[in-house]
Chains A and B, each alone.
Chain A
C-alpha cells in the first residue's frame, strides 16, 4: 500500500507540473503566433518621414519639435534620426509603429491627417506619411 501511495504522489506531482508547463507553453505559443500574424494592435503601420527644403514649404503649417517631444515619441525620433543620416538625394526613412503610437502621433502632430503639418527639428524640415501594410 505504501509504495503505491508514494508512486501516486510522484505521478500526481509530475502530472501537475506537466499541466502547468503545457498550459504555459500553449498560451505563450498562441500569443506569440497571434502577435506575429496580426500585430498586437491592428495591422502593422509605418511612419515615413522625408526631409524637405525650406523653399518647398509654401504655406504649410509647421510644428517645431522639442527634445522632449522626441523623447516622448521614440518612433518619430528614430525616423528623424534615420532620415537625417541618409545620404541619398531624397532623404527619407520608414520605421514600423503600433496603432497606439500612430494615434499618439496623429493627435499630437497630425501625421495621419489630410493636411499633415510639416515638422521641424534642429533647423531641418520633415514631411510625414503613414503607410498601412
Chain B
C-alpha cells in the first residue's frame, strides 16, 4: 500500500506545481493588462491631448530598417492614420526646416488608447528604437505619437 501511494503523490505534487506555475503566468499577464487599462484610464482623465503625427521621409536606405507597405486594412483599423495620410488632416509643411529630408505631413488629436495602439503597431522597435518606414503610393512615412 505504502509503495503504491508514493508515485501517485509525487504525480499530484508535480501537477500542483505545474498548475501553480501556469496560474502564476496567467496572473502576471492579467496583471499587465490591468495595469495597461489603469494607466490609459488615468491618462484619459488627465485632460492631455495626445497627437498622432505622420512624418514623410524623402528617401529610404535599406539599412535604416524595415519597410512596411500600408494596406487598406491599416487605414480601416486606424481612421486617424487614414485622415492624416490621405484625408482632411493632410497638411504638409515645407521640407526646408529641421533635417530637410523629412517633413510633417499632418497630425490629428487621438485618444490615449489609440495613441498607444498606433505606437505599438507602427512605433519604433523596442530594442533598436528604429522606426519602420511605412510605404504608401511610392512615399515613405513614419508614425510619431505623443503621450502628454
Contact = CB atoms under 8 A, between A and B. Distances in A.
A107 B51 contact: no
A interface, over-half SS: helix
B35 A72 contact: no
B146 A98 contact: yes
Given A100-B146, A106-B98, A19 B28 contact: yes
Interface in A52-82: 66, 68-69, 72-74
Interface string A5-32: 0000000100010011111111110011
Contacts, number: 100
B interface, over-half SS: mixed
Interface of B: 23-24, 26-28, 30-32, 34-36, 38-39, 49, 51, 53, 55, 89, 91, 93, 96-99, 102-104, 106-109, 144-148
Which 9 residue pairs spanning A and B have beta carbons closest together? Answer: A23-B31, A110-B97, A27-B35, A19-B27, A108-B93, A107-B98, A24-B34, A72-B107, A24-B35
